[in-house]
């Protein structure tokens, strides 16, 4: 499905574009780079600046950054802030549209040793990334009345649903749960459901079920183990909401990895904000970006490095509050947390 990832064949080093991001982005990206050096991961980072400009009213990423990502096929991204000023679109949305990143994959798994209301969460949610309510088609009809258009297409629906079935197949999950609200949005969500029914015929060994978004929200919050052996797939808005709900079950966005998958390019990212209020203070938690990079390594078939780094991260978090950052009820700085991970490699 994806093109070959370019590597330096002389030394078998993978070239990866690095978007450090805004706010705490530089600190957490530097932590990842330091840990990769200690783990001797065969990755050559290519940092780029994605500060956008408005060209004919369209938020546009600098050409050198676009060229780097298209060349390397893989990128790791820190948090980005949307530029202040009229007309700028969300940077995350701009990246998704620029590179055709149609599926957002959000696994959420409980961290052993870090206590939350649930200690056995193991969910995988796949969100359609390009349309739905986030199509950006809205306007003022008359003063005081606005209209926003929800766009659902057969092509985009089939693409993300098929990806969900393939993901279930490759990860040993026995069921795909299609989340929708076709009881009310009979045409738009109805099309999404119909696409899933057709594609399910190609995967007779994988069960498919259909749930209203209301029911999924209730079940996920009351007993997340219900979804431990399935892959959930859904349109854009539902995925945005439920993926953050899932993150809350394991301790927050600071512990949650994420990958945006396209046919030619994949960008793995920390989904939390840029936290400008703590930037430069040594308080940032690099866990989400680091675990996202482990997703990246597994996508690149560098599983041994991914497993080693992930184990070191989880061991560090479980070691106690003196080794955890403040957002994880700890007292460690970004640098000391990073050093603890390295010592646990």
Alpha-helical regions (H) of 172-286:
188-200, 213-222, 236-250
Q: What is the 3-state secondary structure (H, E, C) of 156-199?
A: HHHHHHHHHHHHHHHHCCCEEEEEECCCCCCCHHHHHHHHHHHH
138-191 tens-digit pLDDT: 899 999 999 999 999 999 999 999 999 999 999 999 999 999 999 999 999 999
CB contact at 8 A, 211 and 178: yes
78 and 17 assigned to the same domain:
yes
Question: Tell me, what's the pLDDT at 3?
Answer: 47
Residues 283, 330, single domain; the answer is: yes
Mean pLDDT of 117-144: 93
Residue 265 DSSP code:
-
- Beta strands 101-109 and 53-55, pairing class: unpaired
Strand partners, 233: 126, 178
Task: Note whether residue 280 is domain-resident.
Answer: yes
Greater model confidence, 109 or 134: 109
Q: 334 near 275, Cβ under 8 Å?
A: no
From the list 268, 208, 219, the residue with the least C-alpha distance to 242 is 219
The residue out of 232, 249, 266 marking a domain boundary is 249
Query: Which tokens in the block code for residue 332?
Result: 């460690």
Does pLDDT of 9 surpass 50? Answer: no
64-104 confidence digits (pLDDT tens): 999 999 999 999 999 998 766 555 677 888 899 899 999 99
CATH number for the domain that contains residue 224: 3.40.718.10
The CA distances from residue 127 to 102, 179, 185, in Å, are 8, 10, 18
3 lies in a domain? no
Helix axes 91-99, 63-72, angle to 10 degrees: 50
- Residue 166, pLDDT score: 98
The whole-angstrom separation of Cα 308 and Cα 177 is: 31
Cα(66)–Cα(97) distance, rounded to whole angstroms?
A: 12
Going by pLDDT thresholds of 50, 70 and 90, the confidence category of residue 201 is: very high
Tens of pLDDT along 246-271?
999 999 999 999 999 999 999 999 99
- What pLDDT was estimated at residue 337? 98
Q: Is residue 112 part of a domain?
A: no
Considering the domain architecture, whether residues 321 and 228 belong to the same structural domain is answered as no
* Residue-level pLDDT at 137: 87
Task: State the pLDDT confidence band at 2, using cuts at 50, 70 and 90.
Answer: very low
Q: How confident is the model at residue 49 (pLDDT cuts 50, 70, 90)?
A: very high
Which pLDDT belongs to residue 8?
Answer: 54
- Do 244 and 257 have their domain in common? no
Task: Give the mean pLDDT of the chain.
Answer: 94
pLDDT attached to residue 1: 45
Indicate the number of domains in the chain. Answer: 2
Strand pairing of 266-269 and 259-262?
antiparallel
Is the confidence at residue 6, as pLDDT, over 70? no
Is residue 203 included in any domain, yes or no? Answer: yes
Mean pLDDT computed over 313-335? 96
Same domain, residue pair 213 and 125: yes
Q: Which two tokens stand for residue 18?
A: 């690095």
Domain endpoint, select from 249, 279, 310: 249
**Residue 125 domain-assigned?**
yes
Q: Sorting pLDDT into bands at 50, 70 and 90, what band is 134? A: confident
pLDDT of residue 110 exceeding 50, the answer is yes
Residues 238 and 122 both lie in one domain? yes
The reply to whether 268 and 326 lie within a common domain is yes
30 with 43, same domain: the answer is yes
Distances from the Cα of 213 to the Cαs of 127, 223, 238, 298, 326, in angstroms? 13, 15, 7, 30, 33
| Length reported for the chain | 345
> The whole model's pTM is what?
0.92
The confidence score (pLDDT) of residue 124 equals 98
> 3-class DSSP state for residue 244?
helix
Residues 126 and 207 in one domain: yes
What pLDDT digit, counting tens, does each position of 227-240 carry?
999 999 999 999 99
Whether the per-residue pLDDT at 5 is higher than 60: the answer is no
pLDDT score of 147: 96
Q: Is residue 5 one of the residues assigned to a domain? A: no
Do residues 265 and 306 share a domain? Answer: yes
Q: Quick one: 184 and 222 in the same domain?
A: yes
Q: Which domain holds residue 35?
A: 11-104+251-344
Q: By CB neighbour count within 10 A (0-12 exposed, 13-18 middle, 19+ buried), where does 146 fall?
A: exposed
Examine residue 2 and state whether it is found in any structural domain, yes or no.
no
In a domain, 109, yes or no: no
Longest dimension (CA), the chain: 63
Q: What percent of the chain has pLDDT over 70?
A: 95
Q: Which of 249, 284, 312 is the last residue of a domain?
A: 249
CA-nearest of 173, 215, 208, 175 to 194 is: 208
Looking at the structure, do residues 289 and 209 belong to the same domain, yes or no? no
Q: How would you classify the pairing of strands 101-109 and 122-128?
A: antiparallel
């Amino acid at each position: 499905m994806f093109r070959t990832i370019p590597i330096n064949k002389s030394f078998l080093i993978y070239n990866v574009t690095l978007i450090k991001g805004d706010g705490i982005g530089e600190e957490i990206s530097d932590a990842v780079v330091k840990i990769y050096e200690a783990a001797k991961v065969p990755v050559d980072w290519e940092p780029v600046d994605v500060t956008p400009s408005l060209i004919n009213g369209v938020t546009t990423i600098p050409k050198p950054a676009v060229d780097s990502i298209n060349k390397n096929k893989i990128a790791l991204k820190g948090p980005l802030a949307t530029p202040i000023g009229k007309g700028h679109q969300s940077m995350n949305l701009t990246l998704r549209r620029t590179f055709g990143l149609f599926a957002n994959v959000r696994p959420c798994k409980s961290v052993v040793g870090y206590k939350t209301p649930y200690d056995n969460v193991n969910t995988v949610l796949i969100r359609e990334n390009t349309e739905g309510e986030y199509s950006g088609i809205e306007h003022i009809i008359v003063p005081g009345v606005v209209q926003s258009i929800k766009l659902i297409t057969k092509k985009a629906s089939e693409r993300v649903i098929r990806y969900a079935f393939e993901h279930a197949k490759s990860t040993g999950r026995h069921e795909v749960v299609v989340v929708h609200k076709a009881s009310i949005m009979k045409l738009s969500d109805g099309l999404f459901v119909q696409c899933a029914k057709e594609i399910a015929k190609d995967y007779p060994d994988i069960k498919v079920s259909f749930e209203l978004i209301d029911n999924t929200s209730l079940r996920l919050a009351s007993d997340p183990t219900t979804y431990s052996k399935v892959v959930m797939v859904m349109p854009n808005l539902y995925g945005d909401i439920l993926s953050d709900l899932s993150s809350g079950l394991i301790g927050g966005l600071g512990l949650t990895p994420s990958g945006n998958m396209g046919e030619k390019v994949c960008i793995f990212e920390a989904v939390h904000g840029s936290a400008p209020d703590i930037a430069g203070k040594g308080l940032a938690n690099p866990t989400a970006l680091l675990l996202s990079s482990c997703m990246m390594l597994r996508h690149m078939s560098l599983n041994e490095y991914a497993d080693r780094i992930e184990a070191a991260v989880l061991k560090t978090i479980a070691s106690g509050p003196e080794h955890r950052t403040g957002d994880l009820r700890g007292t460690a700085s970004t640098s000391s947390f990073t050093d603890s991970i390295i010592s646990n490699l």
